[in-house]
């Protein structure tokens, strides 16, 4: 049996990447998994609150972030290990970019990464994130660490059928940017790249989908409001969009735009390709792991002029857009069912 951790994601109201990973994995693990929470110093069933009484060959699997302060007694639980423990590891962004990361996350992450070393198995969401974790453990000088493999996250975010025949984009063309408004997602650069195109008369709409980060996002929201006063309804911010609303935006999009500065995997890129929509994305090694197979146009994340040129091309060059859309719709993509199957198979085999 797999006891799947939903301590935070089980009741989360926001569609964050962590929440989506947790919910999609639990759904695809099906009868192999039981939802569990850490509460009152013990692992409990999420449905009844009863303490878990596992067999030694059962697994505890978490895709969440945690610390001893947030989960008192968790370090002792890992040390005793009444069952085997595995974790999905996302990234070390709070350590690499502390100036643009939630202070709570920055404070939590060193302890979280050290606790991961007490697990039996780790599944990193990309080769880049695996290397970050192993590098941090080497820096700590840890003598014994668990094996760290990689797992491909699914592109089918809401379980919708894949689009294999590119649709005719709406007119005027629409660009879609998914992600919380915050410095790491780099929407400020995107606004700076789009403004010259609107001023030169290019007719298109930009849809920003994501809540405003309450700690860092206000300046970006204000920049959106200022530019909207200039360009009107060509710039739209959807602060609260459910799966159906996001699917509608994908269906209308000529391309998605993903100017992020740092990611563990980059789910919006994968989800864009699943919908048959090309993605103009940051030229980061972690994104190239998925972008290089087709359907994407990588651009340096610190070059507004390069982004302006790339967006002009994706909006006006129908031949290039058609090539990217065809690649997006026909290339191989991972599914959450395959992700869950990979994890189940790994947990069923010796380390």
How much is the pLDDT for 18? 84
- Angstrom CA distances, 322 to 122, 132, 182, 221, 254, stand at 39, 36, 31, 33, 10
Rounded average pLDDT over 202-216: 95
What would the pLDDT profile of 38-73 be if each residue is shown by its tens digit?
A: 999 999 999 999 999 999 899 999 999 999 999 999
For the chain, the residue count is 351
CA 70 to chain centre: 23
Report the range out of 118-132, 160-174, 232-246 with the highest average pLDDT: 118-132
HEC per residue, 253-292: CCEEEECCCCCCCCHHHHHHHHCCCCEEEECCHHHHHHHC
Confidence (pLDDT) at 118? 96
Dihedral, CA atoms, 294, 63, 217, 211, nearest 10 degrees?
A: 80
> Helix, strand, or coil here: 181?
strand
First to last CA, the chain: 17
Place of tokens 């290019």: 202
pLDDT tens-digit readout, 88-100: 999 999 999 999 9
Tell me how far apart the alpha carbons of residues 333 and 290 are, in angstroms, rounded to a whole number: 9
pLDDT of residue 56: 87
- 274: CB partners within 8 A, 6+ apart: 155, 156, 157, 160, 162, 163, 333
Does residue 106 carry a pLDDT above 80? yes
Per-residue pLDDT, averaged over 128-139, amounts to: 97
**Helix 304-316 to helix 187-199 angle, to the nearest 10 degrees?**
60
- Tell me the domains of the chain and their CATH numbers: 2-154+335-348 (3.40.50.2000), 174-330 (3.40.50.2000)
Cα(122)–Cα(265) distance, integer angstroms: 15
Mean pLDDT of the chain: 94
Mean pLDDT of 170-177: 92
Do residues 117 and 89 lie in contact, with contact meaning Cβ atoms separated by under 8 Å? no
Taking residue 244's Cβ as centre, other Cβ atoms within 10 Å add up to: 10
As a whole number, mean pLDDT of residues 290-300 equals 97
Chain segment 298-334, per-residue pLDDT in tens: 999 999 999 999 999 999 999 999 999 999 999 999 9
Residue 236 has pLDDT above 70, yes or no: yes
pLDDT in tens, 139-164: 999 989 999 999 999 999 777 889 98
pLDDT in the model for residue 14? 67
Q: Which residues pair with 273 in a beta bridge?
A: none
% of the chain surpassing 70 pLDDT: 97
Residue 337 has pLDDT above 80, yes or no: yes
């Amino acid at each position: 049996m797999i006891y799947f951790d939903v301590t935070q994601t089980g009741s989360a109201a926001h569609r964050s990447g962590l929440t989506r990973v947790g919910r999609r994995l639990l759904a695809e693990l099906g009868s192999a998994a039981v939802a569990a929470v850490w509460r009152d110093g013990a692992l409990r069933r999420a449905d009844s609150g009863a303490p878990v009484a596992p067999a030694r060959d059962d697994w505890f699997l978490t895709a969440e972030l945690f610390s001893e302060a947030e989960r008192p007694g968790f370090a002792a639980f890992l040390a005793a290990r009444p069952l085997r423990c595995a974790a999905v590891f996302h990234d070390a962004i709070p350590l690499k970019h502390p100036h643009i990361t939630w202070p709570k996350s920055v404070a939590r992450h060193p302890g979280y990464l050290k606790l991961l070393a007490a697990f039996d198995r780790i599944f990193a969401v990309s080769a880049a994130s695996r290397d970050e974790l192993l590098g941090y453990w080497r820096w700590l000088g840890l003598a014994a660490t668990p094996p760290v493999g990689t797992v491909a996250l699914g592109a089918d975010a809401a379980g919708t059928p894949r689009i294999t025949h590119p649709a005719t984009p709406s007119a005027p063309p629409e660009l879609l940017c998914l992600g919380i408004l915050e410095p790491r997602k780099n929407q400020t650069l995107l606004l700076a790249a789009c403004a010259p195109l609107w001023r030169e008369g290019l007719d298109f709409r930009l849809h920003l989908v994501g809540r405003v980060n309450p700690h860092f996002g206000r300046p970006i929201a204000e920049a959106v409001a200022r530019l909207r006063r200039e360009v009107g309804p060509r710039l739209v911010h959807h602060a609260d969009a459910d799966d159906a609303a996001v699917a509608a935006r994908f269906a209308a999009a000529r391309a998605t735009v993903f100017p992020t500065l740092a990611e563990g995997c980059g789910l919006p890129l994968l989800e864009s390709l699943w919908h048959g929509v090309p993605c103009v994305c940051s030229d980061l090694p972690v994104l190239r792991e998925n972008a290089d197979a087709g359907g994407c146009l990588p651009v340096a994340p610190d070059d507004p002029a390069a982004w302006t040129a790339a967006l002009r091309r994706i909006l006006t060059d129908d031949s290039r857009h058609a090539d990217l859309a065809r690649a997006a719709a026909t290339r191989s993509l991972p599914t959450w069912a395959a992700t869950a199957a990979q994890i189940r198979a790994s947990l069923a085999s010796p380390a």
